[in-house]
Amino acid sequence: MSLSFTKKNLLGFCFAIVLVASLAFISYNAIYKLVAADKWVVHTQSIIQKALTISSKLTLADDKQRSYLIRNKKEDLRDYYALVEGILLDINGLKDWVGDNSSQRSTIDSLHKYTIDYFSQFDDVNAIERTGSPNQHNLFILNSTSRDACLSQIQKIIREEQRLLSIRELASKEQALNAEVLIVSNAILGILCMAILAYFVQSTFKARSLAREKLKLSESLFHNSFNHASVGKALVSPQGEWLKVNPALCNILGYTKEELVQLTFQDITHPEDHQLDVHLLKGILGGEIDTFVVEKRYIHKQGHCIWIQLNVTLVRENGVPKFFISEIIDITSAKSLISDLKAKNEAIKHKEEQLTSFIEHSPAAICMLDTKMNFIAASKSWRESYLTPGQIFIARNLYELFPHLDKKWKALHQKALAGEVISSSEELYITPEGKEEWINFEFRPWYQHIDIIGGIILFAENITEQKQAKEELIRAKEEAEQAAIAKTNFLSTMSHEIRTPMNAVIGFTHLLLQNAREDQMEYLKMLKFSGENLLVLINDILDYNKIEAGKIQFESIDFNLRELIQNIKGGLLEKAKDKGIDLKVLIDDELPEMVKGDSVRLTQVLVNLLSNAVKFTERGRVTISASISDTTSTHTIVNFAVRDTGIGIAKDKQEFIFESFTQASADTTRKYGGTGLGLAISKRLLELQNSTIFLESDLGKGSCFHFELAFENSKIRKSGNALELNPEKKSLKGVHILLVEDNRINVVLARQFLKQWEIECDVAENGKIALEMVQLKPYHLVLMDLQMPEMDGYTATIEIRKLAGERYKKLPIIALTASAMNEIRESVLNIGMNDSVTKPFNPDELYSKIDYYKSGLSVV
């Protein structure tokens, strides 16, 4: 910029000089011409003057001639000749003056001739005189013609010169005007030029002073930027000495300025980088390169290694290396960052390779795509499922390979690319061939870095066959469920059908036993035992079936735990006595009398354990114990244990006996009977109440089954005597009940028991009759069979409850059901009955319930 500005100035300057010179030359030329013109005017005027002088001299010579002739004085003659000489000289001079003007020259020649003639005439006259004395008459001899001729020639010359003079004066005037105009305009131009010149001179000076200031400024800038630069800067001699260093460099290297200039850069270069320096210096000093940038190591004053980026430029003067300008940047931390980054990138790359390889070798159909949906990898299974053998797919676009993929799939891919994980366990996929395939898929993004999605991974599994199999299974399950329902219904019906005759068998055996002969006693007892066994078997099968079907439900009612245990003991006391076994009950004093829970299921478990204990014990003792394990404000956890001194169970059999239909040894059934279902049911019943049954047993020494069960604390302090049995005297005299039963055997049997207990009983053959009868008499209680002709027990109960009067709402109705299924109990309670009794009756249970409800107390 500065150079072009100077050039411009120089050019302007030169132009102005040339212009001024030209103007000066033009002015000079004009003046010269004017002077020349004036000179010609003066010259002409001189000629005229000269001619006039000649003319006057001629007149004077004429006078002298005449004077001589008249006066004859020598002085006149002398003067005359002096004039003649002067005139001739003047004429000759005049001839020179007119120069090459030929007409004037010839006129002058004529003048010269006439003058000579004129003078000659005098000489002639004079000669005459010399012979005599001058004679006045000679005066008249003198011819004035030649003199006039001379004068006329002079006039001619003068005229001619006057003509020339007027021309020359005109020319001179013009010239003067021209010169005047030129001089004025040139003066103006000259002034302008001078102004331009002055401008250029001034701007040149200004530029120079600016340049000087700039130089000064740049020097100060250089100084400042050198000293205050954040990067290290140095001037280094070609030999490597630090000539000038800035504070930043001192800071980087840990040396002071004074220390550093005592050293060479080789002194602080890391030994491993010396060779690199040698190579680079050779190149730059040899002129192969002008500058270089290199990363190398220096040794800090404190001894540790620092990484720097060195930027070196060599300054030469006339080709001779003067010094290096070095720029040094500390890149130690950047270097470690880069190496960290490199390591991280390596790790990422490694992970990516692992991922790719994992996908490649995955047995599942997986493929990996980048963000543009180009393939990166695909597992063998994927390739086999979706590509033709040998098809090239890496780096190819998914949609190019599968142009049939519709918007739905593309939208899902985009969602995955946006970071979502999309999956479906069942989705219809139409193959390029138009075949329907069911797939289980998952599209998820994969990450290049923590939050940068690199693409997506597609997982797809062809589940068409599984789906078909599943549908088959669902069909099979539905069929199985149908079958299970049919089975349950069948069992329910069968249990009803079996229980009804069993009711009769066991009931009548009971009755017969009361009045039997001694010889019949044993058979009747065996009949009762077999009947009861058969009933247990039926109940077990039904229970097991219920548990398996997941249909078992637990109730929560208040009951007397101590009494329940005593009753269980009572139920088996006779059997134990028969076998000569001591049957004991141990109840913790702290055990609450009343608790809340499912007494039926607890009874079932304890009866099973206790009857097993009695069954498998030949001598010794069977103990049932109950103690408190833990109590809270809401619950009491009771520990139950049933111990015996019986045959015991071998260690290797202990875990199997809880399985259904499993017994400890093959001859158990033969010796002791049983089905192998009792413990399986007990275990399951406890598990469903979050309890576990444990067994400790030694073969030949005895067994102990124990478990813990949580009961809600009952709000009832002590139960009434509702379930209390009076084994001595059972009488419910004054109680009037309606028995609704269509089976005549059951009627006879029930009547027998009721009669024993002194209960008055009317019978209705079906629900319809019962509905009428309850309105005729105020019965204390109704025993209602469920399945009857005309009107079943359910409808009859509903109708009774509908009858007007509080009495019909409160009238206790106990269902007589041959089915032990829990649902039956639930449904009878739901439609408004108060309780249920399973046929065949347990007389004690029936008695207790009648006793309990006789006063119209409707407690379930």
DSSP string, 97-118: HHTT-HHHHHHHHHHHHHHHHH
Q: Residue 595 or residue 680: which is nearer to ligand ADP going by CB?
A: 680
Candidate list 365, 561, 565, 613; residue touching ligand ADP; CB under 6 A = 613
Candidate list 27, 138, 186, 663; residue touching ligand ADP; CB under 6 A = 663
Q: Can residue 685 be called a binding residue for ligand ADP (CB under 6 A)?
A: no
Contact segment (CB under 6 A) with ligand ADP among 173-181, 360-368, 566-574, 639-647 equals 639-647
Q: Residue 105 or residue 706: which is nearer to ligand ADP going by CB?
A: 706
Candidate list 253, 460, 657, 764; residue touching ligand ADP; CB under 6 A = 657
Cα separation, 587 vs 624, in Å, equals: 8
Residue type at position 846: L
Q: C-beta of 531: minimal distance to ligand ADP in Å?
A: 17
Token readout for 605 is 């478990």
The answer to whether 850 and 759 are in contact (CB under 8 A) is: yes
Q: Can residue 581 be called a binding residue for ligand ADP (CB under 6 A)?
A: no
Backbone phi, psi, residue 804, to 5°: -70, 135
Q: Residue 610 or residue 763: which is nearer to ligand ADP going by CB?
A: 610
DSSP string, 272-331: GGHHHHHHHHHHHHTTS-SEEEEEEEEE-TTS-EEEEEEEEEEEEETTEEEEEEEEEEE-
Q: C-beta of 640: minimal distance to ligand ADP in Å?
A: 14
Cα separation, 662 vs 651, in Å, equals: 15
Contact segment (CB under 6 A) with ligand ADP among 470-478, 554-562, 660-668, 723-731 equals 660-668
Cα separation, 97 vs 500, in Å, equals: 189
Please identify which residue in the block is written with the tokens 């020359």.
Answer: 168
Q: Residue 644 or residue 742: which is nearer to ligand ADP going by CB?
A: 644
Give the other-Cβ count within 10 Å of 685's Cβ: 21
Residues within window 406-465 making contact with ligand ADP, judged by CB under 6 A = none
> What strand order describes the sheet that includes 422-430?
375-378, 366-370, 452-462, 436-449, 422-430
Candidate list 679, 781, 791, 828; residue touching ligand ADP; CB under 6 A = 679
Candidate list 253, 373, 568, 649; residue touching ligand ADP; CB under 6 A = 649
The answer to whether 610 and 573 are in contact (CB under 8 A) is: no
Say how far residue 489 (Cα) sits from the centre of its chain: 61
Q: Can residue 277 be called a binding residue for ligand ADP (CB under 6 A)?
A: no
Q: Can residue 792 be called a binding residue for ligand ADP (CB under 6 A)?
A: no
Q: Can residue 616 be called a binding residue for ligand ADP (CB under 6 A)?
A: yes
Q: Can residue 819 be called a binding residue for ligand ADP (CB under 6 A)?
A: no
Q: Residue 524 or residue 581: which is nearer to ligand ADP going by CB?
A: 581
Candidate list 676, 793, 840, 843; residue touching ligand ADP; CB under 6 A = 676
Q: C-beta of 648: minimal distance to ligand ADP in Å?
A: 6
Q: Can residue 640 be called a binding residue for ligand ADP (CB under 6 A)?
A: no
Q: Residue 147 or residue 569: which is nearer to ligand ADP going by CB?
A: 569
Residue type at position 129: E
Cα separation, 784 vs 815, in Å, equals: 5
Q: C-beta of 621: minimal distance to ligand ADP in Å?
A: 12
Candidate list 179, 664, 763, 774; residue touching ligand ADP; CB under 6 A = 664
Candidate list 44, 104, 153, 612; residue touching ligand ADP; CB under 6 A = 612
Q: C-beta of 585: minimal distance to ligand ADP in Å?
A: 17
Q: C-beta of 354: minimal distance to ligand ADP in Å?
A: 56
The answer to whether 660 and 677 are in contact (CB under 8 A) is: yes
Q: C-beta of 704: minimal distance to ligand ADP in Å?
A: 9
Contact segment (CB under 6 A) with ligand ADP among 73-81, 167-175, 587-595, 661-669 equals 661-669
Residues within window 822-851 making contact with ligand ADP, judged by CB under 6 A = none
Residue 94's nearest CA partner among 169, 150, 26 is 150
Q: Residue 164 or residue 605: which is nearer to ligand ADP going by CB?
A: 605
Q: Can residue 686 be called a binding residue for ligand ADP (CB under 6 A)?
A: no
Cα separation, 737 vs 265, in Å, equals: 124
DSSP string, 195-259: HHHHHHHHHHHHHHHHHHHHHHHHHHHHHHHHHH-SSEEEEE-TTSBEEEE-HHHHHHHT--HHH
Contact segment (CB under 6 A) with ligand ADP among 393-401, 494-502, 670-678, 821-829 equals 670-678
Q: C-beta of 612: minimal distance to ligand ADP in Å?
A: 4
Q: Can residue 544 be called a binding residue for ligand ADP (CB under 6 A)?
A: no
β-pairing, 760-764 with 702-713?
A: unpaired
Q: Can residue 134 be called a binding residue for ligand ADP (CB under 6 A)?
A: no
The answer to whether 572 and 579 are in contact (CB under 8 A) is: no
Q: Residue 454, SS3?
A: strand
Residues in contact with ligand ADP, total (CB under 6 A)? 21
Q: C-beta of 613: minimal distance to ligand ADP in Å?
A: 4
Cα separation, 321 vs 305, in Å, equals: 30
Q: Residue 20 or residue 581: which is nearer to ligand ADP going by CB?
A: 581
Q: Can residue 743 be called a binding residue for ligand ADP (CB under 6 A)?
A: no
Q: Residue 101 or residue 662: which is nearer to ligand ADP going by CB?
A: 662
Strand partners for 628? 638
* Torsion (CA) 487, 489, 490, 495 in degrees, nearest 10: 120
Q: C-beta of 654: minimal distance to ligand ADP in Å?
A: 9
Cα separation, 156 vs 148, in Å, equals: 12
Candidate list 644, 708, 792, 835; residue touching ligand ADP; CB under 6 A = 644
Contact segment (CB under 6 A) with ligand ADP among 14-22, 352-360, 361-369, 672-680 equals 672-680
The answer to whether 608 and 687 are in contact (CB under 8 A) is: no
Residues making up the chain, counted from first to last:
860
DSSP string, 457-471: EEEEEE-HHHHHHHH
CB under 8 Å, gap of 24 or more: what pairs does 298-306 form?
298/252, 298/253, 298/268, 298/269, 298/270, 299/268, 299/269, 299/270, 300/253, 300/254, 301/253, 301/254, 301/255, 301/259, 302/254, 305/270, 306/252, 306/253, 306/330, 306/332
Q: Can residue 641 be called a binding residue for ligand ADP (CB under 6 A)?
A: no
Candidate list 703, 746, 766, 836; residue touching ligand ADP; CB under 6 A = 703
Q: Can residue 647 be called a binding residue for ligand ADP (CB under 6 A)?
A: yes
Q: Can residue 740 be called a binding residue for ligand ADP (CB under 6 A)?
A: no
Q: Can residue 723 be called a binding residue for ligand ADP (CB under 6 A)?
A: no
Q: Can residue 678 be called a binding residue for ligand ADP (CB under 6 A)?
A: yes
Residue type at position 148: D
Q: Residue 636 or residue 663: which is nearer to ligand ADP going by CB?
A: 663
Candidate list 488, 668, 787, 842; residue touching ligand ADP; CB under 6 A = 668
Q: Can residue 767 be called a binding residue for ligand ADP (CB under 6 A)?
A: no
* Residues binding ligand ADP (CB under 6 A): 608, 612-613, 616, 644, 646-649, 657, 663-664, 668, 674-680, 703
